[in-house]
Structure 1
Amino acid sequence: MAATPVADWLPPAPPGAVADAVTLICLPHAGAGPGGYRPLARLLLPRVALRPVRLPGRESRVGEAALPEATAVVRALVPALVPQLRGRFALWGHSMGGYLAFELARLLEARFGLRAEALIVSGCPAPTSPARAALPQRSLMDDDQLWSSAAELNGIPAEVLGDAGLRALLLPTLRADFAVFETYVRRPGPPLGCPVHAFSGQDDPEARGADMAAWGEETRADFHHATLPGGHFFPLEDPAAFGEALVKALTAPN
């Protein structure tokens, strides 16, 4: 099987970044692609260059089947990603993307000797949080329930909600992505060597402050936890506020 071109996984870096900018690899939330992160990307320039990953099953890759397991996603991504990590880089994952970013950070350290400047997680309970067991199992819902449940989290753009054709196209990817989130199990291994920054939404029912604070167990370096206004999608609800927090986390002196 031919390798997927790098450009399919990782759209080009945004113009306008300074020479020593931190490249922030973003693992998006369930069902999402790079498009929803463009407003935030503009706000992070020039000191941070946001590069959201385009996973199978969305945008230009909508004809590909989404992968329903975290390790499979990361292993498929790595061959395209590693050659791009030539300078300063950090990893950020939101919701489902948090577990993908965490597994990616572990793999890059263990197999390639590549240590991110930071792992950033938002809207994603720590792998060891007992609260995970109480979260809805959306991947097991019927289509109507799954669509409604995702809509209640504000995870589906308004222009998509009432479009039956887009719904039929997106549901398989959404279901596979929720399976990634729900079935993720942390494999044994040492804590990360990079700092971890965890961000909570004040009104997020999916990842409360205590659930996010447990991410501190996953690093032997510094850990920081902050709560920002908003619900589950607080990074996109107020990209200016989250962008300011991101830039501060990635550029503050150690």
Structure 2
Amino acid sequence: MFQSSARTSRHIRRPVPWLLEPQAAVSPQALTLVCVPHAGAGPGVYRPFARHLAPHLSLRIVHLPGRESRIGEPALDNLPEVVRTALPQLAPELRGRFALWGHSMGGFVAFEVARVLEARFGLRAECVVVSGCQAPRSPERAALPQRRALDDDELWLSAIELNGIPDEVAGNDALRKLLLPTLRADFAVFETYEYRPGPALGCPLHVFAGRDDTEAAAADMAAWQLETRSEFTLTELSGGHFFHLDDPMGFSERLTAVLCPQHASR
């Protein structure tokens, strides 16, 4: 009986946490920064930020289904479902001081999570940071490519052209087959997002744009100002759509400056 139970237990899969903590212990006064990755990305891409943000910011990375250790789970393909599914997992972890940061698709997710946390849970973020993501009410959103409708070859090539696929992955057919469904679902989350009017955020909103980003130029991100009744900043940095990954140390310094100005580099 014991041996049978032991064999069975080895096949029980423990649920994967939605929030991963990739860094060592930080200051007890550290602000928790919840990061929502861009389309197709898992937590691993954002782990390098952890060592640059400590000790003043404690990074938590949202681990959505369909990637890395959750690759066996189907990816969610619409933003309301992402928020509805994630909130019960995230809210219990956000009882202290926290901020939200999302890049590209993650920007919309972070924004909508912040709205619901504030309106329904009474949990107000210290700040929301959005990078590489057009404002929800920007008229230019309608002109963005609809990648979710492309065939597999076109979708993969489009992601490569965005510099969103590492070179070591781009030519790997097995990984391509594994990642395409998640990539398509994530683009659907981003492209089918419909803004619903509601109260503006009560926390500061800081926006970053890449100077050479054709997906989310600074002019297209200025309308984020409509989404907060608190402080708003818009900063343009050198680089394309993934300017934050090109220089994680530099962007971490920018994050520290807006989230913890008392600890920013002089």
C-alpha distance in structure 1 between counterparts of 2:230 and 2:138, whole Å = 20
Matched, 1:159 2:173: no
Kindly indicate whether the alpha-carbon contact (under 8 Å) linking 1:40 and 1:236 is maintained by their aligned counterparts in 2.
no
SS in 2 for 1:189: coil
Deviation of residue 206 (structure 1)? 0.3
Kindly indicate whether the alpha-carbon contact (under 8 Å) linking 1:6 and 1:81 is maintained by their aligned counterparts in 2.
no
Deviation of residue 42 (structure 1)? 1.1
Amino acid corresponding to residue 237 of structure 1 in structure 2: D
Q: How much identity, in percent, do the aligned residues show?
A: 63
1:47 is aligned to: 56
Matched, 1:78 2:87: yes
Kindly indicate whether the alpha-carbon contact (under 8 Å) linking 1:8 and 1:60 is maintained by their aligned counterparts in 2.
no
Amino acid corresponding to residue 108 of structure 2 in structure 1: Y
Deviation string 1:84-140 (CA, Å, 9 cap, x unpaired) is 112110000100001000100000001100000001000000001111111110000
Query: Would you say how many aligned residue pairs link Structure 1 and Structure 2?
Result: 250
C-alpha distance in structure 1 between counterparts of 2:95 and 2:14, whole Å = 18
2:9 is aligned to: none
Deviation string 1:167-200 (CA, Å, 9 cap, x unpaired) is 0010000000000110101112110101000000
Point out where structure 2 has 5 or more consecutive residues left out of the alignment: 1-12
RMSD across aligned positions (CA):
1.3
State which of 58, 61, 81 in structure 1 corresponds to 2:67: 58
Amino acid corresponding to residue 117 of structure 1 in structure 2: E
SS in 1 for 2:47: helix
Deviation string 1:144-170 (CA, Å, 9 cap, x unpaired) is 110000001110111110110110010
State which of 237, 242, 253 in structure 2 corresponds to 1:228: 237
C-alpha distance in structure 1 between counterparts of 2:103 and 2:198, whole Å = 22
1:206 is aligned to: 215
Q: Which has the larger radius of gyration?
A: 2
Point out where structure 1 has 5 or more consecutive residues left out of the alignment: none
C-alpha distance in structure 1 between counterparts of 2:15 and 2:222, whole Å = 34
**What's the TM-score once normalised by structure 1's chain length?**
0.96
1:185 is aligned to: 194
C-alpha distance in structure 2 between counterparts of 1:90 and 1:213, whole Å = 20
Amino acid corresponding to residue 235 of structure 1 in structure 2: H
C-alpha distance in structure 1 between counterparts of 2:50 and 2:157, whole Å = 29
Matched, 1:93 2:125: no
SS in 2 for 1:104: helix
Amino acid corresponding to residue 250 of structure 1 in structure 2: L
C-alpha distance in structure 1 between counterparts of 2:110 and 2:196, whole Å = 14
Please identify runs of 4+ aligned residues in structure 1 that moved more than 2 A.
Answer: 4-8
